[in-house]
Amino acid sequence: MASARNLRELGLAQAARLIAAGDITSEALVTACLERVAAREPQVQAWSFIDPELALRQARECDASPNRGLLHGVPIAVKDVLDTYDMPTEMGSPIYAGARPMLDAACVALARTAGAVIMGKTVTCEFAGMAPGATTNPHDPTRTPGGSSSGSGAAVADFMAPLAFGTQTGGSVLRPAAFCGVIGYKPTFGMFNRAGMKFAAESIDTIGLIARELEDMALVTAALTGSAFVAPSLPARPLRVGLCRTYLWPKAEPSARAALERAAAAARSAGADVREFELPAQFSRLTQTREIFNNVERARSLAFEWAHHREKISPALSRSVELGLATPDAEYRDAMRFAEACRIEADAIFCDFDMLLCPSANGEAPVGLHYAGDPSFQGLWTLLHVPTLSLPAGKGESAMPVGVQLIAPRYADKALLDAAYWLITQAGVTATMA
């Protein structure tokens, strides 16, 4: 019989295969994860809600029933801005303390339909925004795990769950993944249905995944989209890689710069065509443009909360709402036109490259829990609606994880996963630092 440690360290796809073959039970796997939660949660504080009996009841039901789908019996954690009918959805805000939705978010319902055990809700920054919760980085409790999918990144990195749902408006999936040393995947905008998600900025909010194994991203994508599961595989020809430091390069710390150079050198040595690439000059407006989207659309999404519970909204989020309310609609519409023009121009970039390679974040996780990190290295790509992925790529000066970010054209999500698979298996870029 596999030990609890061996069970909790399984990737989601590997665990699903073992359950389907009858080699392990869902109950044993969920029990192993719950034992890890019991041991580590007092320090990590990744969960806003977890009921061991509810999780085990789902697991036992899976073990007693025929295989229901691709995710049969495997536990998934859910960021607490996504609705769950049998658990509170509090969104990191006292306004929603104890709130119980009647329905699951679409991604949660589809995961359940495919057989997943919904293990619990993970801590989010307030309304997936700026004010962090109490979650700590599993590698160093004095440092942030990143945000706003703080609990999702920490739970996966600490072996409490093999995979977690996150959401990204700026960098809220990739940054926690980079800071915690796991894999973060933000698909093409709209890939995963967003019904049942509390919007932050509706025109860019994207549901994403955090896991320790790349294959898990493909399996959950298949379950959520109704497509056939195809594991990541080697591309048919050598990759054409654009080494893209971006206009944000001056903000990159030595650890991020070194990780990017190591990954580029490894890809080149393994046979990729790696060339320097500079974004068009006008793209330097993207960070400011995303802030306009973020402020205006947050103000509109939080109209009820602002009108009726303003005193319960944090100062940081209040500033964002105030900025959004003060932004002229003409400025917002100009930002929308500019973003769409850049998306079209970004499509053309990939005529010459299969993927771009840039920093996942500006460095290691910052010390302190009051600040979840700079979203700019991820946010520009979120605004462009392209699929992105953060891979662990070693450690920095403080022995904390650092990552590299892969970017592919819109709707080329399978090619992105294949490129990441090539970087892991052929170029030797680290698959996980958990």
93 is catalytic: no
Is 166 within 8 Å of 184 (Cβ atoms)? yes
Is 212 within 8 Å of 434 (Cβ atoms)? yes
SS3 for 106-145 is HHHHHHHHCCCEEEEEECCCHHHCCCCCCCCECCECCECC
Catalytic residue among 148, 150, 255, 390: 148
Nearest Cα to Cα of residue 338 among 382, 383, 389, 377? 383
Catalytic residue among 93, 149, 172, 320: 172
3-state secondary structure of 295: helix
What φ, ψ does residue 120 adopt, rounded to 5°? 170, -175
395 is catalytic: no
186 is catalytic: no
Catalytic residue among 26, 79, 390, 395: 79
**Beta-bridge partner residues of 75:** 117
Distance, in Å, from the CA atom of 236 to the CA atom of 215, rounded to the nearest integer, reads: 18
Contacts of 265 (CB under 8 A, 6+ apart): none
Distance, in Å, from the CA atom of 232 to the CA atom of 235, rounded to the nearest integer, reads: 9
Say whether the peptide bond before residue 376 is cis (omega within 30 degrees of 0). no
Cα radius of gyration (the chain):
20
Is 135 within 8 Å of 47 (Cβ atoms)? no
Residue with tokens 């109209």: 303
3-state secondary structure of 401: strand
What φ, ψ does residue 139 adopt, rounded to 5°? -85, -20
Token pair in block for residue 139? 């590698």
Is 375 within 8 Å of 172 (Cβ atoms)? yes
> Would you name the residues annotated as active-site residues?
79, 148, 172
